[in-house]
Chains A and B, each alone.
Chain A
Amino acid sequence: MISAFFIFNQKGEVLISRLYRPDVKRSIADVFRIQVISNSDVRSPIITLGSTSFFHVRINNLYIVAVTKCNANAALVFEYCYRFIAIAKSYFGKVDEESVKNNFVLIYELTDEIIDFGYPQNSEIDTLKTYITVTDVVRSEAPEESSKITTQATGVTSWRRQDVKYKKNEAFVDVVETVNLSMSAKGTVLRADVDGHILMRAYLSGTPECKFGLNDKLVIDKNDMTGASDAVELDDCRFHQCVKLNEFDASRTISFVPPDGEFELMKYRSTSNVKLPLRIIATVNEIGTTRVSYDIVIKANFSNKLSATNIILRIPTPLNTTSVDCKVAAGKAKYVPGENVVVWKLPRLQGGQEHTFSGLASLTSTTVRQVWTRPPIDVDFQVLMFTASGLIVRFLKVFEKSNYSSIKWVRYLTKASGSYQIRY
């Protein structure tokens, strides 16, 4: 399995190095530096040299590298790298060179705990935080306390402490949907789907059993033959490890004992009847070889009680653009030469409203005429209390021995960042 774990910076300096198995030497780091970091031609995240394989993931100019010497489980190695990043983020915010340097002792402690002899162990953030702490506060070294921690770390519900107590029992559910769209120049939808995440913040005492219900078509159709048509077809669901997968497989009920605090309860995917919150109509014409005209209309396609916020359109311009003359009725539009795009920012768009951007890009004449590839227009936005898939949380029931009453909150958010693409 994982024989060694390294973190490199952009220059190829080793920031963290941890060997897990005796089959590699520390100097293997040099091989990675020479073969990958200083080689601009590497285009693949796995490099095998002889029988040594390097798996790397890049984040903020850092290389997170795992080394193996066997026919390793590639999926596991990459999942682990991303888990490490998630853990690091949760411990010290941003994962970049500075934070890694500042927290190297902590990172060593973590890497020691989450992998043993190359096999990933416990990587539940909440549990880790109970015995690997950031602050220099003298830790409770009482054996009874540690006993509790270790029992939890290995127990059937490794994600939850036993003695959680709250005055007010509350649970917050956030349904966050990311819309992926790619629309052709003719306005037909090539691909539209929704990646949904249901995040939960549970502040519940004791060991609560939760049951969670959605307007899942498969469940609703089964129980209710009258044909409530607002049910959503979910293509696939994936759950946090606290969810009992057997029960879901058998009856599609989602029941679980939640971890304490924030966690991602489930992910889902839906491809049918996706409601596109924003409609973009783009007319882009190349006039001769020196000018390009833009005419872009954005329209909010949802109830006028709601509104979209933080809308950012990235409108590509040819590489040889010198300036762009932008006219907008709302928001701000600005040409960003470094990225070859015009960025049009709209702070807010009420449902039903529409706005227009018109612009004219001037190009320098070039000797070699290169065809402009016309990359797609990219739109980022957020719409609160709206789900593109139409998903609704029907209930969240909490059962606990002491039978307390609990308050539940539900929020919906649909957003896009880098995945809502319109060709023209």
Chain B
Amino acid sequence: MSFRAGPRKGENFELSQDLNSEYRDKRKDAIKRVIASMTVGKDVSGLFPDVLKNMQTDDLEQKKLVYLYLMNYAKTQPELVILAVNTFVKDSDDPNPLVRALSIRTMGMLRAEKIIDYLCDPLQKCLRDENPYVRKTAALCVAKLYDLKPELVIENGFLEQLQEMIADSNPMVVANTVAALSDIHTAVTSNPGYNPEDPAIFVVTTNILNKLLIALNECSEWGRVAILAALARYKTDDEKEREHICERVVPQFQHVNGSVVLAAVKVVMIHMRGVHREDLQKQFIRKMAPPLVTLLSSPPEVQWVALRNVNLLLQKRSDLLQNEMRVFFCKYNDPLYVKIEKLDIMVRLAHENNVDALLSELKEYASEVDVDFVRKSIKAIGQAAIKIDSAAERCVNVLLDLIATRVSYVVQEAMVVMKDIFRRYPATYEGIIPTLCANLDELDEPEAKAALIWIIGEYASRIDNADELLSMFVDTFTEESYPVQLQTLTAVVKLFLKKPDVSQALVQRILNTATKDCDSPDVRDRAYIYWRLLSSDPAAAKAVVLAHRPPISLARTTVSPALLEELLGEVGSLASMYHKPEETFIGRGRVGADSVQRKGLDADDKLATQRALQTVAHGQQSENLLDFDDVPDAGVSQPFGLAATTAIPQTPAAASLIAGTSTNPLDDLVSIFGNTGNAMAPTQSQNSLGGLAFGNGVGSPVSAVPQSGFGSGVGSPVSQKPQDDLLGLF
């Protein structure tokens, strides 16, 4: 019976009686029941002394169960754990290596202050055990101890001992030693008080390198991953050495375990940077392709990891997987996350010769059930059109076929995509505008409406009834969402500039409504600008509103070059899954000032700093990041010179841009256009704005309009500057 005055009935009471039973079977059974209760979350910590009594046993299974219990509750019962120490220490001297390993493994997990001091001696002994199984367990135990009390590890010289163990004759011991050292190294470097000047805990030297390369071929699959991770950290300037590492690692591509393959890819990608021989580079890339494709026949989750990484690898080496587009065709029963990733890769691999196969495939997907997937497929058609000039017409035809289906979301998505195609190939496909306009009534999503209105405004001079169409939107102006309002406003002004005679009344009406009845400062401000422009200098208005727009192109990379390099060094990890640096989701989801600065140094100009600032925004977001499909596309805008995404978040509109709520490059474009359908020539607007908008004392936030307006026209991110200028005016 328990000494403590516990409850005299109930489950725990019965358990406690059984734990003290004189029959072995009954006791063991009771322990099992205790563990079962523990699993479902019942508090059985009260049984600690009773369970402890069963620790001394020859039955290994029972011993393991008791240990499992101890690991759970040692923290809550620190005074009682001391009673267990004796058995542990005795077990660590047991003739049976399994028992020795078990005791040292469990002791490391107990996390009770009082017991730690007793751990050092047995650990010392086990690190030198003649049995490799015990040694490999002891190696990891050092990492556990470091996590609890680093001083003890240093005092006892365990670190030096681990360093020596890298030369162990047994590959598994080597692997675990490497894992332990890396673990300690990460713990030290991620500590806020870490000084980069301090001597590093684990540096992979040439000497170690050779030992690792030998152990690599002999150890277990998981051990290989640990060793490959260490190889990735090796730094050298010697090109021959780098070649040698790559050559030794390449055979691992053939391993059955996907994580070994990806870890090997990582090492090769890192060390290939220092290899300048073109033929060797090509050879490595060629050997890398088939194993990556093979990963596509793994379970969906592993496939997904592979696909995300293939996506990254393709951004760096577009020659990888050149002729393999077909293997990325979606299967009907693939999970959605796999399908969407495949779509993205298919577009990346598209070129003139395979675009027909791609289009017929995409058209097939557009008739599937999942709305998200259908939309993404239609977007992919648009991306193909923008990417491959010669295929644009075929893409347009496919889109027209899709519009003909009259399925609401298909039509709307196709409309948005059409607008991008018009942006890319201005004045090429005007013939289809009537077809698009015929679907006006079907549209109910703001994005699609805005797209169609943009098209009408842009081609107002060719559409006979443009004024009628637009007046329909003007009638319902105040009920529409803001992007639609902005777009309508701009389209009407465009129409007026092109056909002044028919739309005088319309433009008057919309400017009136927009300035008086509209609650959005963005819309009001834009209306004021137009009004002033039109009334003071129609020629300037033309230059601003009908300014020439640079054609858009498809971003080859979705992340900045510096970040891409960083991510390629992280192949297979979570960072590579999110296409985001580690700091954004580890360590309270915030980026320290230091790391921002570090990133700023990586790239040559302000861009990188701004991206880092964005990353901060994302980091804060990721605090609650449930839906990480929202991978931000920091780099998307850069190639287009649309600076809107690099603007400093001050207004809600800009903030939502920064948040970058989509994975698709075109998405961002669309949202940018939503705000900046009228790209203004920067110099002009800057002057006229200063004079007009503020001279008249518009009582609205200063930065709202200029931000989006300027950025898009300027072509390089200087959004900071115009704001300063404007502020100077006050």
CA distance A371 to B254 in the complex (A): 45
| Contact residues of B between 580 and 611, Cβ < 8 Å to A | 582, 585-589
Q: Which residues of chain B are within 8 angstroms of A158 by Cβ–Cβ distance?
A: 172, 220
CA distance A271 to B229 in the complex (A): 32
Q: Which residues of chain B are within 8 angstroms of A69 by Cβ–Cβ distance?
A: 586
Q: Does B572 contact A (CB under 8 A)?
A: yes
Contact A57 B301 (CB under 8 A): yes
Q: Which residues of chain A are within 8 angstroms of B41 by Cβ–Cβ distance?
A: 14, 26, 29
Contact A48 B625 (CB under 8 A): yes
Contact A154 B172 (CB under 8 A): yes
With beta carbons under 8 angstroms apart, the residue of A45, A117, A120, A376 that contacts B304 is: A45
Contact B582 A79 (CB under 8 A): no
Q: Does A112 contact B (CB under 8 A)?
A: yes
Number of contact residues on A: which range applies? 35 or more
Among A222-230, A243-251, A345-353, which stretch is in contact with chain B? A243-251
Q: Does B32 contact A (CB under 8 A)?
A: yes
With beta carbons under 8 angstroms apart, the residue of B131, B172, B622 that contacts A48 is: B622
CB of B452, distance to nearest CB on chain A (Å): 23
With beta carbons under 8 angstroms apart, the residue of B258, B326, B327, B623 that contacts A75 is: B258
Q: What is the chain B residue whose CB lies nearest that of A240?
A: B256
With beta carbons under 8 angstroms apart, the residue of A16, A81, A123, A239 that contacts B39 is: A16
Mask of A35-70 contacts with B, CB within 8 angstroms, 1/0: 100010111111111110101010000000000111
Q: Does B134 contact A (CB under 8 A)?
A: yes
Q: Does A129 contact B (CB under 8 A)?
A: no
With beta carbons under 8 angstroms apart, the residue of A112, A123, A190, A267 that contacts B294 is: A267
CA distance A321 to B181 in the complex (A): 63
When A236-B291, A239-B256 are in contact, do A146 and B622 touch as well, CB less than 8 Å? no
CB of A96, distance to nearest CB on chain B (Å): 17
Contact A47 B111 (CB under 8 A): no
Mask of B65-83 contacts with A, CB within 8 angstroms, 1/0: 1011001100000000000
Q: Does B226 contact A (CB under 8 A)?
A: yes
Using a Cβ–Cβ cut-off of 8 Å, how many residues does chain B contribute to the interface with A?
118
Contact B573 A79 (CB under 8 A): no
Contact A53 B574 (CB under 8 A): yes
CA distance A53 to B574 in the complex (A): 9
Contact B255 A70 (CB under 8 A): no
Q: What is the chain A residue whose CB lies nearest that of B252?
A: A245
CB of B448, distance to nearest CB on chain A (Å): 19
Contact B259 A371 (CB under 8 A): no
CA distance A74 to B588 in the complex (A): 20
Contact A141 B58 (CB under 8 A): yes
Contact B326 A190 (CB under 8 A): yes
Q: Which residues of chain B are within 8 angstroms of A1 by Cβ–Cβ distance?
A: 183
CA distance A43 to B629 in the complex (A): 9
Contact B137 A421 (CB under 8 A): no
Q: Does B367 contact A (CB under 8 A)?
A: yes
Q: What is the chain A residue whose CB lies nearest that of B326?
A: A191
Contact A131 B98 (CB under 8 A): yes
Q: Which residues of chain B are within 8 angstroms of A240 by Cβ–Cβ distance?
A: 256
CA distance A140 to B301 in the complex (A): 40
When A76-B572, A131-B98, A191-B327 are in contact, do A154 and B132 touch as well, CB less than 8 Å? yes
When A151-B133, A371-B407 are in contact, do A139 and B60 touch as well, CB less than 8 Å? yes
Contact A117 B60 (CB under 8 A): no
Q: In this complex, which of B141, B256, B588, B589 has the most chain A Cβ atoms within 10 angstroms of its Cβ?
A: B256
Q: What is the chain B residue whose CB lies nearest that of A139?
A: B60
CA distance A169 to B572 in the complex (A): 42
Contact A249 B629 (CB under 8 A): no
Q: Does B514 contact A (CB under 8 A)?
A: no
In the complex, number of A-B residue pairs with CB atoms less than 8 Å apart: 277
Q: Which residues of chain A are within 8 angstroms of B623 by Cβ–Cβ distance?
A: 50
CA distance A104 to B99 in the complex (A): 21
Contact A108 B574 (CB under 8 A): no
Q: Which residues of chain A are within 8 angstroms of B577 by Cβ–Cβ distance?
A: 46, 74
CA distance A123 to B99 in the complex (A): 19
CA distance A245 to B61 in the complex (A): 38
Q: Which residues of chain B are within 8 angstroms of A75 by Cβ–Cβ distance?
A: 258-259, 261-263, 302, 305-306, 572
Contact A57 B291 (CB under 8 A): no
CA distance A156 to B217 in the complex (A): 9
CA distance A120 to B222 in the complex (A): 6
When A184-B360, A248-B251, A418-B333 are in contact, do A79 and B572 touch as well, CB less than 8 Å? no
Contact A109 B64 (CB under 8 A): yes
Contact B251 A423 (CB under 8 A): no
Contact B252 A108 (CB under 8 A): no
With beta carbons under 8 angstroms apart, the residue of A43, A45, A150, A248 that contacts B97 is: A150
Mask of B126-138 contacts with A, CB within 8 angstroms, 1/0: 0000011110110
Q: Which residues of chain A are within 8 angstroms of B40 by Cβ–Cβ distance?
A: 13-14
Q: Does B576 contact A (CB under 8 A)?
A: yes
Q: What is the chain B residue whose CB lies nearest that of A152?
A: B133
Given pairs A79-B259, A151-B132, 11 additional interface contacts (CB within 8 A) = A49-B625, A104-B35, A105-B65, A147-B131, A154-B173, A156-B218, A195-B297, A235-B290, A245-B252, A269-B294, A418-B333
- Could you list which residues of chain B lie within 8 angstroms of chain A, going by C-beta atoms? 32, 35-36, 39-41, 58, 60-61, 64-65, 67-68, 71-72, 94-99, 101, 105, 108-109, 111, 131-134, 136-137, 140-141, 143-144, 147-148, 170-173, 176, 179, 183, 186, 217-218, 220-222, 225-226, 229, 250-252, 254-259, 261-263, 290-291, 293-294, 297, 299-302, 304-306, 326-327, 329, 331-333, 335-337, 357, 360-361, 364, 367-369, 405, 407, 570, 572-578, 582, 585-589, 622-629
Give 3 nearest A-B pairs by CB, closest first: A150-B133, A236-B290, A76-B259
- Could you list which residues of chain A lie within 8 angstroms of chain B, going by C-beta atoms? 1, 13-17, 19, 21-22, 26, 29, 35, 39, 41-51, 53, 55, 57, 68-76, 78-82, 104-105, 108-109, 112, 116-117, 119-124, 131, 139, 141, 143, 146-147, 149-151, 153-156, 158, 180, 182, 184, 190-191, 193, 195, 235-241, 244-246, 248-249, 264, 266-267, 269, 271, 371, 373-376, 418-419, 421, 423
Interchain residue pairs with CB less than 8 A apart (30) = A19-B71, A41-B627, A42-B626, A43-B336, A43-B629, A45-B304, A46-B574, A47-B628, A50-B623, A57-B301, A69-B586, A71-B573, A73-B572, A75-B261, A76-B572, A80-B222, A108-B68, A109-B61, A117-B108, A117-B141, A117-B183, A143-B96, A146-B98, A151-B131, A151-B132, A153-B133, A190-B357, A238-B254, A239-B254, A249-B254
